[in-house]
Each structure stands twice: as C-alpha cells, then as structure tokens.
Amino acid sequence: MTKFSSGDLAHRARKRFGQNFLVDHAVLDRIARAVHPAPGQHLVEIGPGKGALTELLVQEAERLSVIELDRDLVPWLKIRFERYKGFELFQADALKFDFSALAQADTPLRIVGNLPYNISTPLIFHLLRSAHLVQDMHFMLQKEVVQRLAAQPEDKAYGRLGIMVQYYCQVENLFEVPPGAFAPAPKVDSAVVRLMPHKELPYRADHLPTLEKLVNLAFQQRRKTLRNALKQLLPVEQIDALPVDTGLRAENISLPTYVELSNIIAASDGFSDS
C-alpha cells in the first residue's frame, strides 16, 4: 500500500476500510463550496480520514459531528480539531450509527462524506431511513454509482438504487473527480453527488416494503418483462387488469409507475407480503 504523510500524521491507507484519502486542494475547495456551510447548521462528516475536508468545514459550521471507523485516526482528529467549540467526534461504524440521535427538531442534518466504495450503497440505504431528518447529503462516490443514482428510465444505469434513492431524494450529479486526486489513487473515476430529501414525497407508497419488493423482483432479471416479476406478486387475472403495459422491461418503467403499481398490489386481496 502507498504511504502518505499529511502534516504530522503518517498513516498507511487501509484496504479493509476502503481508504483513499482526498488530497487535491482544488477538489476539496470545490466540495466545500458545494456544501456551503452556514451559521446555525449541523454538519455530519462520514469518514473524515486525515481531516482535509474537515479543516474547511469546521471553520464555517456551527456544529460539526464526524464519524470515523479507523481508531488510529481518532487521536489525530481530536488533537487537530478539538479547539473548535462545535466539533464532536464518534469512533463508530457509519453503517451501524444511529443518525437520528444527532438530530434536533429545528436543525436538520447536512451530511458529507468521501464514502468507501465497498460500503457506499448499503450506507446510502441506511441513511435513507433518516431522510426526514436530513436537509441534504454530499457524497464522493464511484462515478458508476453516481450514474446509477441519477439514472432515468431507458438509461443503462437505471435500476433499484436509482429508483429507491429518487423516491426519497432529488439527485444532482455535481462533478467528476479523477483518480489522481486521491492517495492512494483508486482504479476508477469518482464523482460528487448531492442528494436532497423531498420535503414532501412527490409519489407516496402506501406500503413501502411492497414497493421495495416490486422493484427488487423487477430488476433481478432486468431483461425479462415486468409481467414476469408481477407473477410472483399477483394472480394472472389481476395482472391483466393493471393500468400499465406489463410487456415492458423493468428499465422502461418510471418511478411514479412503480409507486402506482405497488399501491395497487398492496391493496390487492391476492397479494401476500411474505
């Protein structure tokens, strides 16, 4: 592994933590400008690493909570940032962290992170459970993941991840970041994305587990028709009565149509949520 020194800290990037430290100052500045902390806001940074982005955020944020899994980095982060009144650090696994414990009724969370590629998708789904407590999220992710988050019907990248994230959030692909901006450099391109939870859901599922199950089934065999997935949820006669062309493939179906179908399925006498 590549050894990288930052200030007084020499730390070997750990593959098991998916560590690729962002070191390009122009990219760091661009992320900080995109987040644009303001007085009275509560920022949460996931995986601060050596604190390169933290340094820019902590000077503007009234309160900054950071969550770092690597216990070797925790003492360094404490020494570097504990002088800031609103700074607090949690040595924890973000996948298991209760983000609702940080929330206050009148101050929604603003979440930022250079997410390890190997946990980015499950972590996003974990965060969506607290979407009602969040103002926005800015993440550095693998470029391919950002493309999936923002994908629309007919796009090759369109699938379960994009549909479920767009159910909760508006997705904005901000800019791409080359491998050379990191130490060690990853083997893939990255991108920064902004997720803004809807204040009111534009399409509301009556039973969210039904929507999740429908979308999962539809994309398990994405080259097959929607009818094939629906056979696992409804009797044939009810499928024939649905207000959608069931001969379409999963990638051709829009989010509002998936929500409409899930509501019909959830209300059906022939549906078993098991």
Q: How many domains does the chain have?
A: 2
- What per-residue confidence (pLDDT) applies to 16? 45
Q: How far does CA 5 lie from the centroid of its chain?
A: 29
**Is residue 56 a part of any domain in this protein?**
yes
Same domain for 93 and 119, yes or no, is yes
pLDDT in tens, 200-253: 999 999 999 999 999 999 999 888 999 999 999 999 999 999 999 999 999 999
Instruction: Among 197, 222, 242, identify where a domain stops.
Output: 197
Residue 14: the pLDDT is: 44
CATH code at position 166: 3.40.50.150
Do 85 and 14 lie in a common domain? yes
Looking at the fold, whether 152 and 178 belong to one and the same domain comes out as: yes
CB 268 within 8 A of CB 202: no
pLDDT tens-digit map of 4-40: 234 444 545 444 444 688 999 999 999 999 999 998 9
Residue 100 has pLDDT above 80, yes or no: yes
pLDDT of residue 1: 23
Q: What is the mean pLDDT of residues 132-141?
A: 97
Q: 184 pLDDT band (50/70/90 cuts)?
A: confident
Verify that 20 and 139 share a domain, yes or no. yes
Q: Name the pLDDT band for 268 (thresholds 50, 70, 90).
A: confident
Is 91 buried (19+), middle (13-18) or exposed (0-12) by CB count in 10 A?
A: middle
Instruction: Among 164, 197, 230, identify where a domain stops.
Output: 197
Stretch 261-265: mean pLDDT:
96
Q: What is the CATH number of the domain that holds 213?
A: 1.10.8.100
Q: 191 and 220, same structural domain?
A: no
Minimal CA–CA distance to 74: which of 54, 98, 99? 54
* Domain span at 35: 3-197
Q: Do 141 and 19 share a structural domain? A: yes
* Angle between helix 120-128 and 143-150 (nearest 10): 40
Per the prediction, the chain carries an average pLDDT of 90
My answer on whether 66 and 89 are in the same domain is yes
Name the pTM for this structure: 0.90
| Domain boundary pick from 145, 169, 197 | 197
| pLDDT higher than threshold 90 for residue 95 | yes
DSSP 30: H
Report the pLDDT averaged over residues 53-70.
Answer: 94
CA distance 80 to 83: 8
- Residue 221 has a pLDDT of 84
Res 2 pLDDT > 80: no
Among 173, 170, 265, 169, CA closest to 215: 265
> Number of helices and strands (H, E) in the chain?
10, 11
Q: What is the mean pLDDT of residues 188-192?
A: 96
SS (H, E, C) 155-184: CCCCCHHHHHHHHHEEEEEEEEECHHHEEC
Same domain, 106 and 222: no
4: left (phi over 0), alpha (psi -120 to 50) or beta: beta
Among candidates 45, 79, 41, which has minimal Cα distance to 62?
41
pLDDT tens track for 144-155: 999 999 999 999
